[in-house]
Structure 1
């Protein structure tokens, strides 16, 4: 799994953090935007969270499009994410991961 914490845009005060990355076991990119809430004023709550289902976000660009309104996007981010995804090609699930996938999703994608 890769994970990049991005700088929230200064003009959006309620955004605490923005995270994007590649989840190899689910074979998807993911995007999270944490907002300040009354219940979670310091850490925030992930009110935007995509990439929790197998193959949900198949490209780095799809994940970047979700977080772009909320964070400053490095110019090389799509390339870095795609490289991180490609380095996992051929990596096999462990027995525990495969068992968990069968239970949760009915297959081992």
Structure 2
């Protein structure tokens, strides 16, 4: 699973954070939009998509979901596509899986 934090659009002062990423287990991209928290409270979730299997399967669909709240930079688009193609695993995780598979642990 990957997760990245986006800065809300300047006109969206009601938004605290926009989180996007790839969820390997569900096979979907996700977007979560958090409102500005009241004093002593956690931010509320204003918008959430990608919590169901294969709900957002392309970066283009993700961009559509994100566009009212934040801009998805091209470098992040590339990174998200990479996360989708390699399962969102960081290089050390991929190496661990490879070694585990070579050792016959069946965790490839």
Give the TM-score of the pair, scaled to structure 1.
0.71
Q: Distance between the aligned counterparts of 2:68 and 2:74, measured in 1?
A: 15
1:7 corresponds to: 7
Q: In the aligned structure 1, how far is the partner of 2:51 from the partner of 2:17? A: 18
Alignment pair present for 1:23 and 2:23: yes
Unmatched runs of 5 consecutive residues or more in structure 2: 89-93, 95-108
Equivalent residues, number: 87
Deviation, 1:73, is 2.2
Partner SS, residue 76 of structure 1? helix
* Partner residue in 2 for 1:75: 74
Residue by residue over 1:29-77, the C-alpha shift from the partner in whole angstroms, topping out at 9 and shown as x without a partner, is 00111113xxx42642111000011000011221121112211321222
Please list every run of 5 or more consecutive structure 1 residues that lacks an aligned counterpart in the other structure.
92-109
Aligned mate of 1:41, from 38, 55, 77: 38
Q: Over alpha carbons, which structure has the higher Rg? A: 2
What is the TM-score when the length of structure 2 is the normalising length?
Answer: 0.72
CA distance in 2, matches of 1:61, 1:6: 16
